[in-house]
Amino acid sequence: MSSTKVLVFGDISSDPKTAIAKANTINGGKNGPFRAFIVVGKVFTKNNFEEVNGALQDGSVSVDLPMFFTDGEGLPEDSATNQTDVVDIAPNVTFLNQWGRLMTDDFIIQNATSGSNDRKTAPTDILITDKWPSNLPRLSKVGFAVPQTAERATNNDKTIDATSKDASPLYHFSGSESFWEREPFANEAGKHTRFIGLAPFGGKQRWHYAFTLKKDDTSTPVNATECPYLKEDKVEEEPLKRANEDDGDPMAKKPRIAPSDCFLCLSNPNLAAHLVVSIGQESYMAMAKGPLLPGHVMLIPIKHNPDFCTESRPSTNPRHRHPVRFVSPKLALELRKYQIALKQMHPGGVVFYEIAKAKGVHVHQQAVPIPQEKINNVENLREFFIKEAKECGFRMENNGELRDDQTNYFRIEFPNSDPIVIKLNRQNPKFDVTWPRKLLAQWFFGNKERGDWRNCSQTEAEETEAADKIKGDFETFDFTR
Ligand SMILES: [Zn+2]
């Protein structure tokens, strides 16, 4: 079986010299040497071209292994870069133009550009595209971090689906603001495609990837899915069909909502993207639809999971066959950071509450700022909840802390006082998921009307304005930037 090691970086144009030095170090380290170094995106900008190219030409900066890059921004607009698919820029530095196809003894790399779906792509080992295939998240269970803001609208392109399908690559890379690795999926060549979206070099999101190309490998990876791409004519109707197919799974005891149909999954093509405020590595923040009051947001794990236990490990007790589920420390830490940032933004206090159910769809935590006129009374809020819970006959846990593997509970955290936990089990059969919001409405405004989000619904223009206000207010507290 032939195998070839390949190193891939996201766009390195912010600091090409450091990135090249890094690649040389990796190549010379314990994982090297690599057969190729691919940069998904730009090496140059108009501002740095002269300096960086000069250093590459005079040898003060050199690349120890063949480097290929796929975005020619910053290159001088001469005839060579306009007319040739593959352009040698400097020793070991090669530009793959928009439809550049490079064939070596070890591999074929194809660079493909969106917007030309009439162009057939021959089978390829490594495919690089400027945008992401639009249906890529279909059938995937991996939380999908859609790039933020302006790039969002232009990041996915249906023409790339056809390109990736035709090329049936073993690896498909695309640049982005954020990192995402999909489960491998079956391709038309009878093998599996791995898609990896890489963030730009040097940022917080992952920007590097190394792999061994196994061209003859026809085995099926354990987490592989079917091909996410559709026939052209089924693009609109297919995602709904898929939800029903899932219901037919004999292993599934209940209907499952797929990420592509989930209101909180970033991979859902119909996501209310205008509500998204901030995206971290494990979670994101979005304005609540039909907010209880201005500033009401939700903290949402990126992973499609009914509770915060997004991870599992084998039980150390040999009599327990089921794995132990737990909250990932990285997720817990990031949610903490969001909470701290929100508390800084609202010095009058924030109430956080969540309902986690093993049979839920996609867990989220509500974050509701205390209204100005209630800040001085906030100490009474906890007592109010306890009184109401007792009246409803709910049994509360002694302390508000949760075991790591906890699910099926309601938990609310108040400013400056201990949290309350109510387990959602036979002890509390009457617990209603709308109860906490109704109580907050009652305490905030003296009546329960705003306790129903439908009474607070806004037009999309109003939502956009309100979300933009939150984005502006949150900007200085946003640790993800
Ligand atoms: Zn989801």
For residue 145, report the distance from its CA to the centre of ligand 1, in Å: 12
294 and 185 in a common domain = no
In this prediction, residue 446 carries a pLDDT of: 95
Domain span at residue 167 reads: 3-234
179 and 78 in a common domain = yes
Which of 206, 234, 262 finishes a domain? Answer: 234
In this prediction, residue 116 carries a pLDDT of: 55
In this prediction, residue 150 carries a pLDDT of: 33
In this prediction, residue 123 carries a pLDDT of: 81
In this prediction, residue 355 carries a pLDDT of: 94
287 and 220 in a common domain = no
For residue 190, report the distance from its CA to the centre of ligand 1, in Å: 30
281 and 224 in a common domain = no
186 and 70 in a common domain = yes
Which of 186, 208, 234 finishes a domain? Answer: 234
For residue 264, report the distance from its CA to the centre of ligand 1, in Å: 5
In this prediction, residue 470 carries a pLDDT of: 98
310 and 372 in a common domain = yes
276 and 403 in a common domain = yes
In this prediction, residue 443 carries a pLDDT of: 97
Residues 94, 284: Cα–Cα separation, whole Å: 38
- What is the DSSP annotation of 438-455? HHHHHHHHSSSGGGSGGG
Q: Is residue 251 part of a domain?
A: no
Low-confidence ranges of the chain (pLDDT < 50): 1, 79, 117, 146-154, 233-255
Residues 417, 42: Cα–Cα separation, whole Å: 51
CB 91 within 8 A of CB 56: yes
For residue 385, report the distance from its CA to the centre of ligand 1, in Å: 29
176 and 67 in a common domain = yes
In this prediction, residue 297 carries a pLDDT of: 98
Residues 6+ apart with CB under 8 A from 65: 7, 23, 24, 27, 33, 34, 35, 36, 37, 92
Q: Is residue 242 part of a domain?
A: no
For residue 452, report the distance from its CA to the centre of ligand 1, in Å: 22
The closest alpha carbon to 80, from 72, 68, 91, belongs to 72
What CATH number corresponds to the domain at position 427? 3.30.428.10
11 and 141 in a common domain = yes
Q: Is residue 204 part of a domain?
A: yes
CB under 5 Å of ion ligand 1: residues: 259, 262, 264-265, 304, 362
For residue 259, report the distance from its CA to the centre of ligand 1, in Å: 5
Say how many domains are in the chain: 2
What CATH number corresponds to the domain at position 28? 3.60.21
